[in-house]
Structure 1
Amino acid sequence: MTDDAELLEALLVEGRDLVGRAAEDLAELARGPDAREALDGLFRSLHTLKGSTALFDLPVLTGLLHAAESRLEGLRDGGGLDDETAGDITGVLDVTETWFDVLEAGSEPGATLLQAAAALTVRLAGGAPGRDCLENAVPKSPVNIPTWAAALARAQAPGEAVVAVRYRPDAEAYFRGDDPLAVAHALPGLRALEVGLDGAPPPKAAYDPFHCRLLLHVLCAAPEAAVRAALRLVSDQVEVVRLDAGETAEPADLAEAAEEVEAGPLRAAAQTARVSTARLDDVAALIDELVIAKNALDHAAAQLAALAPPGAAARDLALRQATLDRLVSDLHGAVGDLRMVSLRGLFGRFPRHVREAAARLGKTVDFQTAGQDVALDKTVVDALFEPLLHLLRNALDHGVEAPDERRGAGKPEAARVRLAAYPAGEAVVIEVSDDGRGVDPAAVRDRAIERGLVDEATAGRLSEAEAAELIFAAGFSTARQVGEFSGRGVGMDSVRAALAGLGGRVDLDNRPGEGLTVRLTLPARTVLARVLVVEAGGERFGVPLEAVGETHRVRADEVTAIRAGRAYVRRDQVIPILRLRALLGLGEAPDPAVFPVLTVTAAGGALGVQVDALGERLEAPLRPTSGLLKGFRGLLGSMLQGDGRILLVLNLAEMAA
């Protein structure tokens, strides 16, 4: 990755986070016009976005954000948030997010996006042409050196190229959390600093200590790009002029300027470094390879121990193996900690999708988020967008009633849909909840029977909670016709499969007539997959330990034939039983007198899976499938065994569905 690309990646990460924060503050402001803290937060987000985009020569986008910031000034002066302003600011956030998508794809904004930005800028400016704010969004050095810059030049060393800065902080700088003196002191190559008042001092009676009236003049012996980079958050409050003396040393690119800014005193005090996610991914992959190598060493040591008599050497080897296991595990955990990111950026992507889906469905929705600062492994966060988007659309389409239906049920016309996250020990729980109609177990039973997913006898034995779980069956849908968001039979089963691939699970909290909560439980950090090795048809397979309820041995005479299937009774519960051989197409074989069975939870309740033998437990990285095996039903991934052979890891519940 080039340095310019690293800077752009930083803009996209920071920018999307700011868009998400702004969307949250705007929603809070819409619910309570007196939410001063939300207004200040929204203003700060737009202000920072404007400064960041100005650094990348995006005058149209910067001008749009400048116009939005100016519109918010009226609210800070006591005006209320009207529907027009709320809609315009929402449009600004949508355009900004779309612009980031275009930049990430390596493309240039098309005519449609540019026209949308221009139209919004005009509207935000009260119908004025808006050309000034677009042209003035990125500060440019004037051709003639102004008087203030010429005065600063007297402090210039002979033969030294410097940059003069005139910094007039905004009057509300203190309320925004800006520290003008700290900003000036952090400039690279600081040579001179003059601090004065902007204009004549006010009368004593009118003096306001919280009103910033400073005027700062700064001289820096640094490239102009580096100075502008350091001032990107206050770019609308500064004038920058380059004063040449002999040859001017310009940085090769923006990355060099950024390096000089990173070396400033504020950054140095933080003792932090920005590392690209690609490099962290490379390190994580190396750690995974180290775990595999460690497992191979364990396998070799076990073979050696079987050949050699026990003694001091064997005990010493076992001790060193235990130390190596601990160090590798600690190293894997430390790298996992580095990959932790908050959910704020992910959650910030959903308000627009919810708003658009609700509008298309003709429903009024109050969308709320909570727990955005909860952190998860970046790989998990990246993989959660599609499952969460499906759950939200499902809530809007199937869960939330139409406004007239809600009024008839005595509910508020605006439905509540909530996306929340919270830590739970070593796991993180993400909930998608709504106050809609919930899941009708009887209707789900009938629909599952109609689609041939369960027979009537099985459906009749299901409890209400088990019947509700049928919505996770492959091909299940309550929609009678295909719509934009439903009816294709690709639904909640894909959500459960995606969560299983991430080492998580999905649970329902169903309240018929009152609402539904879909609860996703995920490991907070990337952990090594723990599987139980089983044998079937002469082959070895892995089953995730968290998917196995229990293992036990069943006598052949305890199994009863039921129609085309088989079942046995355990703890007064009838449990259907399937042969793993048959599920995998590995041929038939006579059942032994006693055989091992795994119990798992499937869409129809508890299920027994008969295997030929149980093996050891294995802990190793789980690799996603690729090539011909990609998308193979019931296959979670693969891992390497200690002897170097590949072990396929199965999703038994999905295979049995």
Structure 2
Amino acid sequence: METNQYIEIFIEESQEHIENLNSNLLLLEKDPQNKGVIDEIFRSAHTLKGMAATMGFENMNKLAHKMEDVLQEVKNGKLSITSSIMDILFKSVDVLGEMLNSISQTGEDFPADDVIFLLSGIKKMPGNEEKAITYSGSLSINEYEEDIIREAYKENYKAFKITVHIDKGCMMKSARAFVIFNNLDKMGDIINSFPPVEDIEDEKFDYSFTLHFLTKEEKEKLEEMLLAIPEVERVEIEEINVTPSKEETEDTQILEAAKKTISQNKTSKSVRVDIDRLDNLMNLVSELIIIKTRLEGLEADNKNPETANAIEYLERITTSLHDAVMKVRMVPVERVFNRFPRMVRDLSHELGKKITLNMYGQETEVDRTVIDEIGDPLVHLIRNSIDHGIEPPEERIKKGKPEVGTINLKAYHEGNNVIIEVSDDGRGIDIEKVKEKAIERGLYTQEQIASLSKDKIFEILFKPGFSTADKVTDISGRGVGLDVVKNKIESLNGTIEVFSEPDKGTKFVIKLPLTLAIIQALLVKVGDEKFAIPLNSISEIVHKKEDEVRNVQGKEIVLYRGRVIPIIRLNEILQTKKVESNGNLICVIIKKGENLACCTVDDLIGQQEIVIKPLGKYLSNVKVIAGATILGDGQVALIVDANNLF
């Protein structure tokens, strides 16, 4: 079967099942008796097994099958959930995830014999010895042998329980038993015997033995053959009937459900679409917006009412089309959030802490490109909260706090932005320790740091290589966490703020644009050049006189609504021609979190919807420019990155 065309669907659906396994295993750990959760985990493992087998990934199939075996024992009540078993199940899911990554990158999985060995050993753990299903008489058959019988039924075999009585005058019982076994082997397969074969060979039996036998022959023929053997006194033969396994029943149910799904899919209103196709569609919409802007420029010169009406209608259509494409590209942040409960569980165990993760607003939707990039920064922030923020249980109890710490992960919309908050109820940021480390690393002198505000001290945490950890561990201390977070968020045209109170906790607030492709911007002139400033970075536009500018410690400042804010001369930063201001300054007040600054420009062109085009890897180090856009007249305008002007 040609599987290449299905590999992407397989990877995507397998990822969903692995996420499902992780989230449900976390629930099972908290409530080991929850039958619904156990059934859900079993179904995910069962589906993964079938999908992997269909695609030809045998190693993945074997591991999922072995997990399924263990979960079947749990379902049947023959296995009790313990912390050791949970650790093995979690490890198995991790390896399944690694296999899936390997398949997506190389097209192949890999053996997982060590994990399969751990899963196989679960039944041998104290208290989990295998329980046998007992039939009438003294011979029993275990789960494994019962499965053999079921599989044999599918090939039209019959299973018989045969008891053979040998004449008590027989001088060599073991030899007679050997003849019986040899004749039976010619007609089928012996599954097991009682006493065991070794005891029969040593004549450790009392003139009779029982065995289970698979054959395609009829009962009468077996009886005739056995009675024809000398010194066989009599035989008792009865057919074994086993009920279908729960797995087979579920397979039937799944098949029926699949038939219904196929029937329903004829009128299905949803379809999977490759993200590249959506990117292409977004690019086409972007080009349409560019040409619409150009037509608006031409219409301004012609002053033709009919042309103006047509262009106005085109603008409504392009805006609606843009909104429609954006909605298609939007995905819930749940896609990112789902990975964190497992991470919190593992790290809290590793550090000996008790932590609860609460997640809110998982349904909040963000552009797919933002979702792909925001995962790593959130990982750093949550790890930071676990390691630096939440105290060990004994320390929390001394402070009068609950021994279980809390981390809250929240997402919500605010205008054209999405806000993501990561907060904890831990020890908070130790400002004195931050100051001490900053002086130690030579970032500030004692006098300089004494004059810094609380917000400015928090900003030190985002300096490259800065860490307050006293020792380097696998989790922290290398100083590569928060600066990576800041750089990544700012590359997404977002901002990050920190709020913290001693012994009450810390909160990181991330503000991101809903989309990175098409934005509203203010077009300005700086010298002879046109630039675009994203509208979500602008607080207000004001006019100031040159004589209102003051110079403090070599820096220009101006008073704005009772606040002292710095002046940023864009012509100096962007290295454009200086234009005489005639004593008047056009000030674009830009914001970065709670911080404000006054950017001076030479002229205002107006607000416009622009399409962001990347600069390419050769210009990726230009910090104050976020990209470029094509204007209606065909000119290229650079987009100012307000975050990097401060």
Q: Which TM-score band (shorter chain)?
A: 0.7 to 0.9
Summarize the alignment of residues 447-526 of structure 1 with structure 2, pairs less than 5 Å apart: 464=454, 467-468=457-458, 471-472=461-462, 477-479=467-469, 484-486=474-476, 490-524=480-514
Find the counterpart in structure 2 of residue 189 from structure 1: none
Displacement after TM superposition at 1:559 (Å) = 0.9
Query: Aligned letter for 2:288?
Result: L
Find the counterpart in structure 2 of residue 575 from structure 1: 565
Secondary structure at 2:532 match in 1: strand
Displacement after TM superposition at 1:384 (Å) = 1.4
Find the counterpart in structure 2 of residue 415 from structure 1: 405
Find the counterpart in structure 1 of residue 8 from structure 2: 9
Find the counterpart in structure 2 of residue 241 from structure 1: none
Secondary structure at 2:632 match in 1: coil
Secondary structure at 2:106 match in 1: coil
Partners in 1 of 2:348 and 2:408 — Cα distance? Answer: 14
The answer to whether the Cα contact below 8 Å between 1:364 and 1:414 also exists between their aligned partners in 2 is yes
- Are residues 1:560 and 2:559 paired? no
Query: Aligned letter for 1:25?
Result: N
Q: 1:646 aligns with which of 608, 611, 636?
A: 636
Distance 1:4 1:620, change over 3 A: farther
Query: Aligned letter for 2:425?
Result: D
Summarize the alignment of residues 104-143 of structure 1 with structure 2, pairs less than 5 Å apart: 104-110=104-110, 114-124=112-122, 126=124
The answer to whether the Cα contact below 8 Å between 1:47 and 1:65 also exists between their aligned partners in 2 is yes
Partners in 1 of 2:503 and 2:252 — Cα distance? Answer: 47
Distance 1:547 1:474, change over 3 A: farther
Partners in 2 of 1:278 and 1:93 — Cα distance? Answer: 29
Secondary structure at 1:270 match in 2: coil
Distance 1:185 1:363, change over 3 A: closer
Summarize the alignment of residues 186-585 of structure 1 with structure 2, pairs less than 5 Å apart: 264-302=262-300, 304-305=301-302, 310=303, 314-351=304-341, 353-354=343-344, 357-358=347-348, 363-422=353-412, 427-441=417-431, 443-444=433-434, 464=454, 467-468=457-458, 471-472=461-462, 477-479=467-469, 484-486=474-476, 490-524=480-514, 528-585=518-575
The answer to whether the Cα contact below 8 Å between 1:466 and 1:603 also exists between their aligned partners in 2 is no
- Are residues 1:18 and 2:17 paired? yes
Distance 1:640 1:177, change over 3 A: farther
String of CA shifts for 1:388-409, please: whole Å, max 9, x gaps. 1221222233323345543443
The answer to whether the Cα contact below 8 Å between 1:19 and 1:93 also exists between their aligned partners in 2 is yes
The answer to whether the Cα contact below 8 Å between 1:556 and 1:594 also exists between their aligned partners in 2 is yes
String of CA shifts for 1:374-398, please: whole Å, max 9, x gaps. 4432212111122112212222333
Find the counterpart in structure 1 of residue 199 from structure 2: none
Secondary structure at 1:625 match in 2: coil
The answer to whether the Cα contact below 8 Å between 1:548 and 1:599 also exists between their aligned partners in 2 is yes
Find the counterpart in structure 1 of residue 99 from structure 2: 99
Partners in 2 of 1:71 and 1:329 — Cα distance? Answer: 55
Partners in 2 of 1:397 and 1:289 — Cα distance? Answer: 47
Distance 1:490 1:87, change over 3 A: closer
Query: Aligned letter for 2:329?
Result: R
String of CA shifts for 1:278-326, please: whole Å, max 9, x gaps. 2222222222222222222223333x33xxxx4xxx1111111111111
String of CA shifts for 1:479-524, please: whole Å, max 9, x gaps. 4666555555554354344334435443444343122232334455
Secondary structure at 1:623 match in 2: coil
The answer to whether the Cα contact below 8 Å between 2:493 and 2:641 also exists between their aligned partners in 1 is no
Displacement after TM superposition at 1:343 (Å) = 3.4
Partners in 2 of 1:606 and 1:457 — Cα distance? Answer: 25
Query: Aligned letter for 1:439?
Result: I
- Are residues 1:599 and 2:598 paired? no
Find the counterpart in structure 2 of residue 193 from structure 1: none
Distance 1:429 1:595, change over 3 A: closer
Partners in 2 of 1:449 and 1:591 — Cα distance? Answer: 42
Find the counterpart in structure 1 of residue 71 from structure 2: 72
Distance 1:183 1:18, change over 3 A: closer
Partners in 1 of 2:507 and 2:365 — Cα distance? Answer: 21
The answer to whether the Cα contact below 8 Å between 1:453 and 1:473 also exists between their aligned partners in 2 is no
Partners in 2 of 1:638 and 1:3 — Cα distance? Answer: 44
The answer to whether the Cα contact below 8 Å between 1:64 and 1:120 also exists between their aligned partners in 2 is no
The CA RMSD over aligned residues, in Å, is 4.0
Distance 1:572 1:565, change over 3 A: same
Secondary structure at 1:513 match in 2: coil
Secondary structure at 1:105 match in 2: helix
Summarize the alignment of residues 119-198 of structure 1 with structure 2, pairs less than 5 Å apart: 119-124=117-122, 126=124, 170=246, 178=253, 181-183=256-258
Deviates more, 1:88-97 or 1:273-282: 273-282
Find the counterpart in structure 1 of residue 84 from structure 2: 84
Aligned residue pairs: how many? 543
Query: Aligned letter for 1:376?
Result: V
Query: Aligned letter for 2:586?
Result: P
The answer to whether the Cα contact below 8 Å between 1:503 and 1:523 also exists between their aligned partners in 2 is yes
Query: Aligned letter for 1:616?
Result: G
Find the counterpart in structure 1 of residue 189 from structure 2: none
Displacement after TM superposition at 1:561 (Å) = 1.0
Query: Aligned letter for 2:597?
Result: L
TM-score when normalising by structure 2: 0.73
Query: Aligned letter for 2:116?
Result: A
String of CA shifts for 1:239-280, please: whole Å, max 9, x gaps. xxxxxxxxxxxxxxxxxxxxxxxxx42321324333222222
Partners in 1 of 2:462 and 2:9 — Cα distance? Answer: 39
Find the counterpart in structure 1 of residue 51 from structure 2: 52
Find the counterpart in structure 2 of residue 613 from structure 1: 603
Query: Aligned letter for 2:100?
Result: F
The answer to whether the Cα contact below 8 Å between 1:336 and 1:526 also exists between their aligned partners in 2 is no
Secondary structure at 1:13 match in 2: helix
Secondary structure at 1:41 match in 2: helix
Query: Aligned letter for 1:276?
Result: D
Distance 1:583 1:185, change over 3 A: closer
Secondary structure at 1:48 match in 2: helix
Structure with greater contact order relative to length (CA < 8 Å, sep ≥ 6):
1
Partners in 1 of 2:314 and 2:76 — Cα distance? Answer: 63
Secondary structure at 1:439 match in 2: coil
The answer to whether the Cα contact below 8 Å between 2:524 and 2:601 also exists between their aligned partners in 1 is yes
Identity across aligned pairs (percent)?
29
The answer to whether the Cα contact below 8 Å between 1:467 and 1:604 also exists between their aligned partners in 2 is no
Displacement after TM superposition at 1:455 (Å) = 8.2
Find the counterpart in structure 1 of residue 29 from structure 2: 30
Distance 1:91 1:486, change over 3 A: closer
Displacement after TM superposition at 1:529 (Å) = 1.2
Partners in 1 of 2:89 and 2:426 — Cα distance? Answer: 29
Name which one, 1 or 2, has greater alpha-carbon Rg. Answer: 2
Displacement after TM superposition at 1:610 (Å) = 2.2
Displacement after TM superposition at 1:556 (Å) = 0.8
Distance 1:583 1:427, change over 3 A: closer
Distance 1:554 1:453, change over 3 A: farther
String of CA shifts for 1:433-469, please: whole Å, max 9, x gaps. 2222222445546656776767888866765456545
String of CA shifts for 1:599-647, please: whole Å, max 9, x gaps. 2335893222222333322212223331221143233222222222222
Deviates more, 1:630-639 or 1:20-29: 630-639
Deviates more, 1:287-296 or 1:416-425: 416-425
Query: Aligned letter for 1:390?
Result: H
The answer to whether the Cα contact below 8 Å between 1:550 and 1:598 also exists between their aligned partners in 2 is yes
Query: Aligned letter for 2:246?
Result: D
The answer to whether the Cα contact below 8 Å between 2:74 and 2:81 also exists between their aligned partners in 1 is yes
Query: Aligned letter for 1:84?
Result: S
Displacement after TM superposition at 1:95 (Å) = 0.7
String of CA shifts for 1:336-375, please: whole Å, max 9, x gaps. 2222333344333345544555566565544454544444
